[in-house]
Structure 1
Amino acid sequence: MSMLTIRNFEEFAQHEGAELGVSDYHTITQQQINQFADATLDHQWIHLDAERAKTESPFKSTIAHGYLTVSLLPYLWGKIITVENLKMQVNYEIESLRFKEPVLVENQVRLKAKLLSLKNLRGIAKAQIEVTLEIKDSKKPAYTGVVTFLYHFND
């Protein structure tokens, strides 16, 4: 599926209720996990200590922070859709996000997105998107949820 390009509210509205696409896979590396730990001050051993994780973790590997996987949403979303003619995009809301499966170091993840609804709020497009972060070769996704973005299109 090729990347979707949206230029205005009307073009976006044509996709309401439809799957918008699936991103390419992104590999979660230990370096990325370590950098996220430093940025967020969350240095729990299950994320950082590979030797300890091999023996003490039920996953036998380090795992990505759940919030690291959530923070990839804008990046992966940008691999599915290009929104042009914008003044600004705002991350507005995350609701009913549920973590379902840990993401182990070196797992590959991708985002699947469906446009649930699109509302025009006095010229601002409020897009509610169902998201699923899939893990390659796993039956369960890392998480599912609904995110809302606000798009301020140019006149």
Structure 2
Amino acid sequence: MSDQKKCQEFLNFIKPQIGQQIHVGPWLEIDQKRINDFAEVTGDVQWIHTDVQRAKEESPYKSTIAHGYLTLSLLPYLTESNHPDFFQKNYPGMKYRVNYGLNRLRFPSAVKAGAKIRARTTVHQVEEVKGGIQICYLITIDIEGGEKPACVAEFLARLYP
């Protein structure tokens, strides 16, 4: 089967899902160790992330908070897109997917140490691109018990047959 035909078949599969929430991921606790490890790896050791006592006394959150980019970096886990069965189930006829980027990214609410987060994924847009398909997902990362999400991102993935 030609690559163009595979792309068309995939478009027929994915287009009915536009506007639909397709996944709700598992809750994940963001503990202080994870925050500290991320701080060490990225060099962002600002006290609001790493100094528990100072954050308790001086931060408006009264706690340390996760880096926004830590939350973002957890998208593969939170969306379960790293699960071995994920690709075949969600992208029939496609051989590989690459992360293409983000259109919009916002961090409306801080994630306090000890909070649990999860991702909800909606198919936002689908279009053909040279040699493949581009999908824009709207991903919302909820904080358990929170009024506002921790992160809202328009994530772009490109798929190729």
TM-score range normalised by the length of the shorter chain: 0.7 to 0.9
Partners of 1:98 and 1:133 lie apart in 2 by 10
Question: Which residue of structure 2 aligns with residue 13 of structure 1?
Answer: 15
Q: Give the 3-state SS of the residue equivalent to 2:95 in structure 1.
A: strand
What is the RMSD computed on CA atoms of the aligned residues?
2.0
Structure 2 residue corresponding to 1:113, chosen from 121, 126, 131:
121
Question: Which residue of structure 1 aligns with residue 29 of structure 2?
Answer: 27
Amino acid at match of 2:95: K
- Normalised by the size of structure 2, how large is the TM-score? 0.83
Determine if the alignment matches structure 1 residue 93 to structure 2 residue 101.
Answer: yes
Q: Is the 8 A contact 2:19 2:124 kept in 1?
A: yes
Partners of 1:8 and 1:31 lie apart in 2 by 41
Offset of 1:21 from its aligned partner? 2.0
Question: Which residue of structure 2 aligns with residue 146 of structure 1?
Answer: 154
The structure with the greater share of residues assigned to strand is: 1
Structure 1 stretch 123-132 or stretch 74-83: which is displaced more? 74-83
Q: Is the 8 A contact 2:123 2:135 kept in 1?
A: yes
Structure of higher CA gyration radius: 2
Structure 1 residue corresponding to 2:87, chosen from 73, 83, 101:
83
Q: Is the 8 A contact 2:63 2:112 kept in 1?
A: yes
Amino acid at match of 2:20: A
Question: Which residue of structure 1 aligns with residue 47 of structure 2?
Answer: 45
- State the percentage of identical aligned residues: 35
Question: Which residue of structure 2 aligns with residue 59 of structure 1?
Answer: 61
Q: Give the 3-state SS of the residue equivalent to 2:111 in structure 1.
A: coil
Partners of 2:159 and 2:120 lie apart in 1 by 20
Gaps of 5+ in 1: 1-6
Amino acid at match of 2:87: V
Q: Is the 8 A contact 2:23 2:79 kept in 1?
A: no
Offset of 1:96 from its aligned partner? 2.0
Offset of 1:9 from its aligned partner? 4.2
Gaps of 5+ in 2: 1-8
